[in-house]
Structure 1
């Protein structure tokens, strides 16, 4: 593996040059997912720098989610799963009729193995924001479905869905397994015809608990996407608050030019 050398005439500090060399080795495939980075001792000798400089370089890659440190073993390449989120067609009715929820559709397109864990279902009062989004009156309750999504065993997203209890109570939506096609298929089974969705996308740094659930290193941001589902009468039926590991996702949108 070619790592190059420090260019003292370069404006970039040495630690950043080392990080660039390691990043380039990963991009070229010289260091593949699961491979161990050269040890601190090897990098110190190769570059002729202090231990802190090497640690700063490796921390850069950790902050990007490129590598992960394992206590007592070293630092390993962690190539992020690239989930291509097909926003323009992921909720198409034909997928629900085929028994596929949106994440499963993306798994078929992208080629990863999907899974869901940390699933919790409860019923209780809505926060003021969720109450406003669902146009609920004071005291109306919501069914809350919280879960974590994994791609090839790696956590990539958490999602919490809120539905009016008056809509979801007594249906499979309050069960752990909602059945083929997921929540939206069950809503349509109940006679609600979905018409459109709105999505709000933003980005921020995660909390400590969010980092833990998504297994993120310090410095890695998350994408926040809040979706509202409406039926043909304009009634909001669900609000889904999702948190995505930014390095794991490509958000794809198709926008008509008319």
Structure 2
């Protein structure tokens, strides 16, 4: 311990990375701006080029810096996040003909689109089977799609339904029609009443990194969403993986008794 306080025990490359990160967070180094050269950074922080390289590696892993071969390192430009909140499920929205994704994006000034990856009868994964109250492996219907915000993939979303629920509905077709899947469930006689969401955060798999175009160090957010009708029956289970740098959460609700 020194006379002025505790000695900073962080390795030098961590201290340098933290100082550069502070400049990025304060916008001294703005999104898209090229960082000083390795030599300039080494001179600024009074360290070796090897330390600077390790510091930049840390910043790349944290998703703050990208390196372009032959050009240098740049502050990563932050993509626009889509906010998630309770109001996104308002019946007035999808009853008026807009799918939830499109309506939410429109309200936030974004452009939303989606690509259907699969429409098929598949064995129910364990978590889906548990929500439906059926044995794992029971045949169910799945709609797998990739959603995009401003042309960048932001979510891999797989919605599962019991076969008896979707038989003969547009949920089995690529185009679900005005209002999307929620509207079609109500058309089929399932009056929607309640939604349960479970969120977890983890690092992505290799295929998820590719599918969502994730920079190094970017986590993903897992969502398990269960939609119930007025009888308490689970009528849809969605398993989604969202790019962690493209989502934010904003909830406003009464405090429960």
> Same-fold call, TM > 0.5?
yes
Aligned twin of 2:80: 81
TM-score, structure 1 as length reference = 0.84
1:141 aligns with 2:139: yes
> For the residues of structure 2 that align with 1:170 and 1:71, how far apart are their CA atoms?
53
TM-score, structure 2 as length reference = 0.85
Secondary structure, aligned partner of 2:168: coil
Report if aligned partners of 1:144, 1:160 keep a CA contact under 8 Å in 2. Answer: yes
> For the residues of structure 2 that align with 1:176 and 1:72, how far apart are their CA atoms?
44
Aligned CA distance change for structure 1 residues 52 and 120 (closer, same or farther; 3 Å): farther
Aligned CA distance change for structure 1 residues 25 and 155 (closer, same or farther; 3 Å): farther
Aligned CA distance change for structure 1 residues 101 and 19 (closer, same or farther; 3 Å): farther
- 5+ residue gaps, structure 2: 1-6
Report if aligned partners of 1:124, 1:141 keep a CA contact under 8 Å in 2. Answer: yes
Report if aligned partners of 1:40, 1:54 keep a CA contact under 8 Å in 2. Answer: yes
Aligned CA distance change for structure 1 residues 15 and 180 (closer, same or farther; 3 Å): farther
Matches within 5 A, 1:170-249: 170-249=168-247
> For the residues of structure 2 that align with 1:223 and 1:138, how far apart are their CA atoms?
24
1:69-112 Cα distance to aligned partner (Å, 9 max, x none): 334443332214222111x1111101102322222233234322
Aligned twin of 1:5: none
1:9-36 Cα distance to aligned partner (Å, 9 max, x none): 7554432333233333333334333333
Report if aligned partners of 1:144, 1:162 keep a CA contact under 8 Å in 2. Answer: yes
Secondary structure, aligned partner of 1:89: helix
Q: Aligned-pair RMSD on alpha carbons? A: 2.4
Aligned twin of 1:102: 100
> For the residues of structure 2 that align with 1:69 and 1:150, how far apart are their CA atoms?
25
Secondary structure, aligned partner of 1:90: helix
Report deviation, 1:178. Answer: 1.8
Report deviation, 1:242. Answer: 1.1
Aligned CA distance change for structure 1 residues 146 and 18 (closer, same or farther; 3 Å): same
> For the residues of structure 1 that align with 2:247 and 2:179, how far apart are their CA atoms?
22
